[in-house]
Chains A and B, each alone.
Chain A
Amino acid sequence: MNDSRARLRALVQHPEFARGAREMVGLALGIGAWGLVTGVAMVKAGLPAWAAVLMSLTVFAGTAQLAAAPLLASGAPAWVVLATAACLNLRFVVFSTQWRPYFGHLPRGRKLLLSYFTADLNYVLFMRRFPEPRPSAEQLPYFWGGVSVNASAWHAMSLLGIALAWHIPPEWGLGFAGTVALLGMTYTLLHDRATWLPAVVAGAAAVAAYALPLKLNMLVAIAAAVAVGVAMDQVRAQQRAAQRRASA
C-alpha cells in the first residue's frame, strides 16, 4: 500500500508528468467543449439523464457515445449499438499497434489500465513527444500527466452538458471549438512535407467517402494516409539508393 503510494507520488512529481499535463492544457478547452457537446447531445437524443451520466463516466469514447445515444434511446437492439461503437472505435485498433513498442513490456493489468485511457489526443501528443518507438523512463509520467487533464476536462464538461442540456442554445456552435482544437493539433503535426501529402490525400478521402455508414470514411482516410506515406518512404529510399550508385 505504502509502496504503491510512493510510486504514485514519484509519478506525479516527475517533470514529464507536468509536461504531459501542460501540453494537454492547451487542448483542454477544445476537449471540454467537445465533452459539453457530447453531454448535451446524449440527453437531447432522448437518453434518460442517469443513463447519460453512466455512459459518460464509463464508456469514455466521444464519437461512440454520440452514435450510441440515439440508438439506445430509440430502443435499437443491443448488438446494433455495440457493432456501431466497435466500427467507430476501429481507429483505436490501429493506434494500439503503435502503443506496443512503448508499453508492450508492462504487466498485463497495467496495459489494460493504460489502454482504457488511450484516447485520440493522448495518442497524438504522445507520438509527437516520443517519435522513437522504444521505451524510456519519461513516457509513463508524460502519459499520465496528459491523461489527468484530458480525462478530467472531458468528464467535468460532459456532466455539465448533461445537466444543462436544455439550456444551451445549439447556435452557439460549441462543437466547433472541438474541431478547431483538432485543427490546431493537425497544424502542429504538419511540420514537414513528409506529412503534407498524406494529410491532403486523407482529407480528400475522408470527404469523398463521407457517405459511408458508421464513419467508416475515417478508416478509409487513415488507410489512404498510410498508403501514401509508405509509397513516399519507398520512393525516397530508391532515390537515396540511386544517389549512392551515382556517386560511387
Chain B
Amino acid sequence: MSWDDVEIVLTIVGLTAITLLTRGFFLVPEREPPMPAWLREGLRYAPIGALVAVVLPEIVMSQGRLIATWQDARLFGVAGATAWFVWRRDMLGTILAGTGTMLIFRLGLGW
C-alpha cells in the first residue's frame, strides 16, 4: 500500500465521521440544545424545501443554466410522472412512468 492509498483510506474514514457527526449533531448530545419555539415549529417546512431544492434544478437546469427550450426529454418525463401520480398515487408507477417517458423522448427523438 502506497502513502497515497493510506491517505485515501484516512480521508474516507473522515468522510464517514462527517456523515455521523452531521446526522447526529442535535440528536446525540445528552442535553437538549436551546432553540426558540418559532424555529422549532418552522423546521416542519425543511423537508419540503430540501426535496424541491434537489428536484427542481435537476429538471429545469443544464450546465448551471436554466434551459431555454421545451424540447427537453426531462420535461416530458416530469409530465409523465406527474400524470401517473395524479391518476394512481403510487410511487413505483410514478418512477417508471417518468423514467420511461424521458427515455422515449431521449432515445426516440434524441432530445
Contacts and interface: CB of A to CB of B under 8 A. Distances in A.
B22 A92 contact: yes
- Grouping DSSP codes into helix (H, G, I), strand (E, B) and loop, the A interface class, with mixed when no group exceeds half, is helix
Count class of interface residues, chain B: 35 or more
A58 B7 CA distance: 16
Interface of B: 4-5, 7-16, 18-20, 22-28, 30, 32-33, 35, 38-61, 64, 66, 73-74, 77-78, 81-82, 85, 89-92, 94-96, 98-99, 102-103, 106-107
Contacts, number: 265
Contacts of A116: 19-20, 23-24
Given A172-B103, A179-B58, A198-B49, A184 B4 contact: no
A195 interface: yes
Contact of B54 (A29, A182, A184, A205): A182
B53 A218 contact: yes
A225 B49 contact: yes
A186 B77 CA distance: 16
A96 B46 contact: no
- Do most interface residues of chain B lie in helix, strand or loop, or is the interface mixed? helix
A118 B47 CA distance: 13
A8 interface: no
Interface residues of A, number: 91
7 contacts: A27-B91, A59-B19, A61-B15, A112-B28, A116-B24, A171-B107, A229-B44
A181 B95 contact: yes
Interface in A165-189: 171-173, 175-177, 179-189
